């Protein structure tokens, strides 16, 4: 049983820099199953890390050590930074008034946020609420399958996904995921998902020629092989995230749009990472002039202050589920916690903060500054193969040989991450993604980043790469 006095201090967060909370650590070690973590290490003298407080761009652990967070909560989520009292107050006030009712009925914050959101997404008109990115994407797969049964005699059921993209952690999302190490040992998977090649020109899989054209020709070849009349949708990230922070080549997205139109394939853009300002526009697809049929989002929608995700569609999609003469025609789906009002209440304030503080413009300008700093690191360190990204969503691919683009050893890449952590700077790296290619350092600092923040992050990376690679 935890000591009540220690627990009270933990809730108040007064202990962050002054108190020994080893009892909390031991309770965590004994009881908590951490995400993406090998727990064997915690059986020895290694303590699980407890993050006890956050403010702005910084978090503090159980030892009171301050860290500058370069990945917005570890997984690209806390877009507006930590400690936003106005978001917490809005959530508290809403929960006291009305905390929950199933999504079969509406709510005031859900209605208000839907209007705010759709105002930022011309051409889209309906919002379906749920509580995670995985769930938001699952809704699209179900919609596509139901459309196939209702309008295409069940034939147009296949969904195309891209190598290196990631769409969530459920079995079906793994079926739609192009990261072999994330998928490994969780099969068999949901059938009907078909892979197309990645679009990372740095690792050109075609040889000499126009890379964009070769990429699009390869996708069209898959469509023709499978039969266009069997393919219902294509799901893609605007910028591939965990598969290496991959920005598409020039003309790629125009070609994707053309293929979808030519073969009557619905286009699903997964904005779980890129959405709500990460790339410098409200959504990543808006960087490329895409006109999607579905857009899904989660992480940055409320910056982690409450759980919320959205599946957004066009009115044409919505109309396919309105047939009063068919009792099975409506979307027979529910998300229990899609009925929580905390999510849209937090999302309203999150969006207001982005607008009032001009964070889209800041993301664009600071993103350019960050890319400049990463190019400087490339010039200095032979272990850097390529810097790439969009807005405050950047990657630095580490290599063992610049000429062949051979990836750096994964343990050395992780050593760079660990070195930065020891310096009080949190960065990420592709992890359990593509076999042999877990070699990209990942950065997604909050949209409030300043030049000083980015200088500190890149200076730590500079020292870490020197220490690890020489």
Give the CATH number for residue 198: 3.40.640.10
Model confidence at 259, pLDDT cuts 50, 70, 90, reads very high
Residue 6 inside a domain? The answer is no
Q: Which of 325, 356, 387 finishes a domain? A: 356
> Model confidence over 232-247: pLDDT tens digits?
999 999 999 999 999 9
Residue 38 inside a domain? The answer is no
Average pLDDT over residues 333-351: 97
| Structure-block tokens of residue 277 | 């300002």
| pLDDT at residue 100, as a whole number | 96
Strands 294-297 and 440-443: unpaired
> Model confidence over 280-314: pLDDT tens digits?
999 999 999 999 999 999 999 999 999 999 999 99
Examine the pLDDT at 446 and tell me if it is beyond 60. Answer: yes
Looking at the fold, whether 299 and 185 belong to one and the same domain comes out as yes
Looking at the fold, whether 61 and 99 belong to one and the same domain comes out as no
Strand partners, 267: 234
Model confidence at 14, pLDDT cuts 50, 70, 90, reads low
| pLDDT at residue 249, as a whole number | 97
Question: Which residues have a Cβ under 8 Å from the Cβ of 442 and sit 6 or more positions away?
Answer: 71, 241, 242, 245, 394, 395, 427, 428, 429, 430
Average pLDDT over residues 134-153: 97
| pLDDT at residue 99, as a whole number | 97
Model confidence at 6, pLDDT cuts 50, 70, 90, reads very low
Of all residues in the chain, the percent with pLDDT exceeding 90 is 90
Residue 36 inside a domain? The answer is no
Residues of 245-265 as b/e, b for ≥16 C-beta within 10 angstroms? bbbbbeebbebbbebbeeeeb
Of all residues in the chain, the percent with pLDDT exceeding 70 is 96
CATH of residue 451: 3.90.1150.10
Residue 280 inside a domain? The answer is yes
Looking at the fold, whether 464 and 409 belong to one and the same domain comes out as yes
| pLDDT at residue 20, as a whole number | 66
Least trusted range by pLDDT, from 26-35, 70-79, 233-242, 309-318: 26-35
Looking at the fold, whether 184 and 289 belong to one and the same domain comes out as yes
3-class SS string, the chain? CCCHHHHHHHHHCCCCCCCCCHHHHHHHHHHCCCCCCCHHHHHCCCCCCCEEEEEECEEEECCCCEEEECCHHHHHCCCCCECCHHHHHHHHHHHHHCCECCCCCCCHHHHHHHHHHHHCCCCCCEEEEECCHHHHHHHHHHHHHHHHHHHCCCCCCEEEEECCCCCCCCHHHHHCCCCHHHHCCCCCCCCCEEEECCCCHHHCCCCCCCHHHHHHHHHHHHHHHHCHHHEEEEEECCCECCCCCECCCCCHHHHHHHHHHHCCCEEEEECCCCCCCCCCCCCHHHHCCCCCCEEEECHHHCCCCCCCEEEEECHHHHHCCCCCCCCCCCCCCCCHHHHECHHHHHHHHHHHHHHHCCHHHHHHHHHHHHHHHHHHHHHHCCCEEEEEECCCCEEEEEEEECCCCEECCHHHHHHHHHHHHHCCEECEECCCCCCCCCCEEEECCCCCCCHHHHHHHHHHHHHHHHHHHC
Looking at the fold, whether 433 and 290 belong to one and the same domain comes out as no
Looking at the fold, whether 338 and 394 belong to one and the same domain comes out as no
| Structure-block tokens of residue 444 | 């997604």
| pLDDT at residue 126, as a whole number | 98
Looking at the fold, whether 128 and 204 belong to one and the same domain comes out as yes
Overall number of domains in the chain: 2
Least trusted range by pLDDT, from 32-36, 94-98, 402-406, 424-428: 32-36
| pLDDT at residue 16, as a whole number | 44
Looking at the fold, whether 304 and 319 belong to one and the same domain comes out as yes
* CA 400/CA 385 separation, integer angstroms: 9
Q: Which of 146, 186, 192 is nearest to 170 (CA)?
A: 186
Residue 134 inside a domain? The answer is yes
Examine the pLDDT at 431 and tell me if it is beyond 50. Answer: yes
| pLDDT at residue 36, as a whole number | 87
Looking at the fold, whether 215 and 246 belong to one and the same domain comes out as yes
- Domain range for 389: 49-78+359-469
Residue 8 inside a domain? The answer is no
| Top-confidence residue, 220 or 432 | 220
Residue 16 inside a domain? The answer is no
CB atoms inside a 10 Å sphere around CB 9:
17
Model confidence at 86, pLDDT cuts 50, 70, 90, reads very high
Average pLDDT over residues 75-86: 97
| pLDDT at residue 10, as a whole number | 46
Looking at the fold, whether 101 and 238 belong to one and the same domain comes out as yes
| pLDDT at residue 324, as a whole number | 85
Under 8 Å between Cβ of 451 and 369: yes
Q: Which of 356, 389, 407 finishes a domain? A: 356
Average pLDDT over residues 130-152: 97
Model confidence at 138, pLDDT cuts 50, 70, 90, reads very high
| pLDDT at residue 18, as a whole number | 47
| pLDDT at residue 19, as a whole number | 54
Q: Which of 3, 1, 5, 7 is nearest to 52 (CA)?
A: 7
Residue 71 inside a domain? The answer is yes
Least trusted range by pLDDT, from 29-33, 193-197, 272-276: 29-33
Q: Which of 356, 372, 403 finishes a domain? A: 356
Looking at the fold, whether 225 and 176 belong to one and the same domain comes out as yes
Average pLDDT of the chain? 94
Taking phi first (over 0 means left), then psi (-120 to 50 degrees means alpha), and beta for anything else, what does residue 304 get? Answer: left
Looking at the fold, whether 223 and 347 belong to one and the same domain comes out as yes
């Amino acid at each position: 049983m935890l000591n009540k006095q220690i627990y009270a201090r933990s809730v108040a967060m007064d202990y962050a820099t002054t108190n020994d909370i080893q009892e909390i650590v031991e309770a965590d070690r004994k009881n908590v199953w951490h995400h993406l973590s090998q727990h064997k290490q915690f059986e020895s003298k290694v303590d699980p890390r407890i993050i006890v407080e956050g403010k702005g761009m910084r978090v503090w652990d159980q030892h009171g050590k301050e860290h500058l967070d370069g990945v917005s909560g570890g997984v690209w989520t806390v877009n507006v930074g930590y400690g936003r009292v106005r978001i917490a107050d809005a959530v508290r006030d809403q929960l006291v008034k009305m905390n929950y009712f199933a999504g079969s009925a509406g709510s005031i914050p859900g209605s208000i946020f839907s209007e705010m959101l759709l105002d930022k997404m011309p051409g889209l008109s309906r919002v379906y609420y749920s509580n995670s990115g995985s769930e938001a994407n699952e809704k699209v797969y179900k919609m596509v399958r139901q459309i196939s049964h209702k309008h295409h005699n069940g034939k147009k059921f296949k969904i195309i996904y891209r190598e290196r993209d990631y769409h969530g952690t459920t079995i079906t999302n793994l079926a739609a995921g192009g990261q072999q190490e994330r998928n490994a040992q969780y099969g068999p998977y949901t059938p009907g998902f078909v892979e197309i090649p990645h679009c990372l020109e740095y690792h050109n899989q075609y040889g000499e020629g126009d890379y964009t054209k070769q990429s699009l020709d390869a996708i069209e070849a898959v469509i023709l092989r499978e039969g266009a009349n069997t393919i219902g949708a294509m799901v893609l990230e605007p910028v591939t995230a965990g598969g290496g922070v991959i920005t598409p080549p020039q003309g790629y997205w125009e070609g994707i749009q053309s293929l979808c139109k030519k073969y009557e394939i619905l286009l699903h853009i997964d904005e779980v990472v890129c959405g709500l300002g990460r790339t410098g526009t409200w959504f990543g697809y808006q960087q490329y002039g895409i006109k999607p049929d579905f857009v899904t989002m989660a992480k940055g929608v409320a910056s982690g202050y409450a759980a919320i995700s959205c599946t957004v569609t066009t009115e044409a999609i919505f109309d396919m589920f309105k047939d009063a003469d068919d009792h099975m025609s409506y979307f027979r789906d529910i998300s229990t916690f899609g009925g929580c009002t905390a999510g849209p209440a937090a999302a309203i304030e999150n969006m207001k903060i982005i607008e009032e503080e001009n964070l889209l413009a800041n993301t664009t300008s600071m993103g350019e500054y960050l890319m400049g700093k990463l190019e400087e690191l490339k010039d200095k360190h032979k272990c850097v193969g390529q810097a790439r990204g969009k807005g405050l969503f950047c990657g630095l691919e580490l290599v063992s040989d610049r000429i062949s683009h051979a990836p750096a050893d994964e343990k050395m890449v992780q050593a760079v991450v660990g070195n930065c952590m020891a310096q009080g700077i949190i960065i990420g790296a592709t992890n359990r993604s593509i076999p042999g290619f877990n070699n990209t350092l990942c950065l997604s600092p909050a949209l409030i980043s300043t030049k000083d923040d980015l200088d500190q992050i890149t200076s730590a990376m500079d020292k870490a790469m020197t220490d690890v690679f020489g």
